[in-house]
């Protein structure tokens, strides 16, 4: 799929080296079609890594996507150069009067905090409220999913006894939904978190379809309002070495983490991690773009 990004975005060169077609602004202007406008609110600390992961996952449909990266103005992290943010990112104030076909809200390493204690919570709630009227479908990822479930539907999160980290087996629960079209009965996906959502609250609300879950990792894929809001409680966009980097970062901090489950061959952290989730991750993002964005968005906002 042609993904339209700024010509000098560093992720563009990485994806082109992987033989993924990324279209710059100049070429996009020569095509007489309306691209789907997708905003990505990137809350992850290593923003450039997340840019590559998400653009890679969005690259498997023939539709043209015009990508806008968003960041928070109320909190600026220390892991991404200010020059990169100034060049390639907008804030809520820049887009609050615009309409988008799709919005992705990423995870963030703040799940042990109360939502209201997160530095940018008020700004995030503004964006989630804005999405009700200005976005066709919103895809929430990991902590972004927890935040969306809490803000929109008052679903509480629960602390886990230890960090959930690894690649877990999941089962599809509702084959009638196009979001899981093309999935096998069982599939793998990465998780990396200290909290989970209350399944009891999800079921009692009567507002969600549970599309996939894991015996070990719990809920994975939820949908509300016929796809207006979709929640992914893991990290299918992670690349091969993301969990490896997180595990070794925590080791260096003296946290003494458990080795990620079902990730390294024979649990040997010196060996190349196994990649077992890419095909289903790509299918998930393709289905979201096709069935919940493209087929539901108005031709003109």
For residue range 100-144, list pLDDT tens digits in order.
999 999 999 999 999 999 999 999 999 999 999 999 999 999 999
CA–CA distance, 31 with 161 (Å, rounded to integer):
53
Catalytic residue among 196, 235, 246, 280: 235
Q: Which candidate, 67, 106, 105, places its Cα nearest to that of 89?
A: 67
Which stretches of the chain score pLDDT less than 50?
1, 28-31
Looking at residue 79, what is its pLDDT?
77
Catalytic residue, candidates 48, 51, 111, 142: 142
Whether 225 is a known active-site residue: answer no
- pLDDT tens profile 49-78: 999 999 988 988 878 899 999 999 988 888
Q: Tokens standing for 28?
A: 């996009």
Nearest residue to 50 (alpha-carbon basis) of 94, 114, 104: 104
Phi/psi for 6 (5° steps) reads: -65, 145
Angstrom distance (rounded) from CA 157 to CA 30: 47
Q: Which of 48, 123, 213, 237 is catalytic?
A: 237
As a whole number of angstroms, the distance between CA 279 and CA 277 comes to 6
pTM: 0.89
What tokens appear for 265 in the block? 């061959």
266 as an active site residue: the answer is: no
Give me the residues paired with residue 23 across strands: 4
Q: Name the H helices within the chain.
A: 10-17, 25-28, 47-57, 82-88, 92-95, 121-134, 143-153, 199-205, 242-252, 278-287
What was the pLDDT predicted at 289? 96
* Cα(61)–Cα(64) distance, integer angstroms: 8
DSSP bridge partners of 103? 39, 138
Name 232's bridge partners. 141, 221
Give the C-alpha separation, 226 to 172, whole Å: 17
Place of tokens 């196994």: 274
147: closest CA among 69, 231, 203?
231
Is 235 a known active-site residue? yes
Structure tokens at 24: 């710059």
Round to the nearest angstrom and report the end-to-end CA distance of the chain: 23
C-alpha radius of gyration, the chain, whole number = 18
CA 125/CA 116 separation, integer angstroms: 10
Secondary structure of 157-171 as H, E, C letters? EEEEEEEEEEEEEEE
């Amino acid at each position: 799929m042609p993904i339209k990004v700024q010509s000098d975005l560093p992720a563009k060169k990485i994806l082109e080296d992987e033989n993924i077609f990324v279209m710059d602004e100049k070429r996009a202007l020569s095509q007489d079609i309306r691209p789907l406008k997708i905003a990505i609110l990137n809350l992850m600390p290593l923003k450039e890594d997340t840019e590559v992961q998400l653009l890679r996952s969005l690259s498997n449909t023939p539709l043209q996507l015009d990508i806008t990266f968003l960041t928070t103005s109320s909190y600026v992290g220390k892991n991404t150069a200010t020059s990169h943010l100034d060049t390639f990112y907008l804030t809520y104030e820049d887009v609050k009067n615009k309409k988008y076909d799709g919005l992705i809200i990423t995870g963030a390493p703040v799940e042990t905090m109360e939502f209201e204690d997160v530095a940018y919570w008020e700004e995030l709630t503004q964006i989630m409220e804005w999405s009700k009227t200005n976005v066709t479908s919103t895809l929430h990822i990991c902590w972004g999913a927890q935040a969306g479930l809490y803000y929109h539907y008052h679903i509480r999160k629960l602390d886990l006894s230890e960090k959930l980290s690894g690649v877990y087996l999941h089962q599809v629960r509702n084959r009638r939904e196009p979001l899981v079209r093309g999935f096998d009965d069982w599939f793998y996906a990465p998780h990396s978190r200290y909290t989970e959502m209350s399944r009891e609250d999800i079921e009692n609300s009567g507002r969600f379809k549970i599309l996939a879950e894991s015996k070990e990792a719990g809920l994975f894929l939820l949908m509300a309002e016929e796809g207006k809001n979709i929640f992914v409680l893991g990290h299918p966009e992670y690349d091969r070495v993301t969990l490896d980097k997180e595990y070794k970062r925590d080791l260096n901090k003296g946290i003494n983490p458990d080795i990620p489950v079902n990730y390294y061959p024979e649990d040997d952290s010196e060996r190349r991690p196994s990649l077992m989730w890419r095909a289903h991750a790509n299918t998930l993002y393709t289905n979201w773009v096709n069935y919940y964005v493209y087929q539901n968005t108005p031709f003109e906002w």
